[in-house]
Structure 1
Amino acid sequence: MAVDALDTRILRLLLEQPRTSVREYARILGIARGTLQARLDRLERDGVITGSGPDLSPAALGHPVLAFVHVEVTQGHLDEVGDALAAVPEIIEAFSITGGGDLLTRVAARDNAHLEDVIQHLIQVPGVVRTRTEVALRERVAYRLLPLVESVGAAADAKDRRRQAASDIR
């Protein structure tokens, strides 16, 4: 899905000012509310915007230990293990991956002993062969999308300028 300069400006506002009203976004952008709403609807329909809920902190919820647990799965049991992992509340994300393991999970725990309990639970899931755990010490780059949005927007702007220059030559 192509994201143009206006889409980029909309996404930037959504990321920078997530609690602002649609009316205020339209005023800031200098566009009609209907135009903005149509853009937002398209961005949601195309899967660019995937949610609008608050971002929560596992640490503030009493789970300050963050670990990445690689899970090796018996061949042919990836779906079953994935379903079992979805039932573990401390697993806040899980991805099937290539490389050293079959699944990569992000786990939030109260402390190291709790993390060990979660890992022991994972090892007992049918189809899990072994796990490998890496504990995060400090977040160096927080989850972010604004630099990516700006990069996509800049590429779209450059493409539009090239297209305009080509049509001016004709």
Structure 2
Amino acid sequence: MAVDELDTRILRLLIEQPRTSLRECARVLGIARGTLQARIDRLERDGVITGTGPSLSPAGLGHPVLAFVHIEVTQGHLNEVGDALAEVPEIIEAFSITGGGDLLTRVAARDNGHLEDVVQRLISLPGVVRTRTEMALRERVAYRLLPLVESVGLAAGTPAPGRTGTGRPGA
């Protein structure tokens, strides 16, 4: 799906000001509300926009310990283990991967002891051969998509508003 300059401007505004009404977004962008709605509908249909809910903090929910757990799975049991991972509430994300292991999970825990309990639960799942845990010490780059959105917009041929060729705002 091609994202053009207007899509990029829309996405930037939605990321930077997620609580702004569609009417106000249309006014800021200088387009008709119907045009904005049609663009957003297409971006949702095409899987570019996948949600509109609030961003939540595991730490704010009392789970400040973040770890990445690599899971090695017995051949032929990847789907079974993946389904079982969905039943573990502390697993925030899980991905099939290449390299060292078969699955990579992001786990949130209350403390180190709780993390150990979660890892022990993972180890006991049928089909899990072994795990390797790496603890996050400090977030260096928060989850973000705006730089990617802007990169796609630049590739479409027109820089996003407020951007210059340097990739820095106002530079």
Number of equivalent positions: 158
1:1-170 maps to which residues of 2 (within 5 A)?
Answer: 1-157=1-157
Structure 1 ranges of 4+ moved more than 3 A: none
| Mapped partners of 1:52, 1:157: distance in 2 | 27
Percent identical across equivalent pairs? 87
Q: Deviations over 1:92-132 (max 9, x none)?
A: 00000000000000000000000000000000000000000
Deviation at 1:157, TM superposition (A): 1.3
Q: Which runs of 5 or more residues in structure 2 are unaligned?
A: 159-171
**Matched residue, 2:161:** none
**For the aligned residues, what is the CA RMSD?**
0.5
Distance 1:2 1:139 in 2: 32
From the two aligned structures, give the one with the greater helix fraction.
1
Taking structure 2 as the reference length, the TM-score comes to 0.92
- Distance in 2, matches of 1:41 and 1:132, equals 41
Q: Aligned partners of 2:146, 2:85: CA distance in 1, in Å?
A: 30
> 1:8 and 1:42 mapped to 2: Cα distance?
13
What SS class does the counterpart of residue 70 from structure 2 fall into? strand
Query: Within 1, Cα distance between the matches of 2:20 and 2:96?
Result: 36
How far apart, CA to CA, are the structure 2 residues paired with 1:60 and 1:46?
32
Q: TM-score, normalising length from structure 1?
A: 0.92
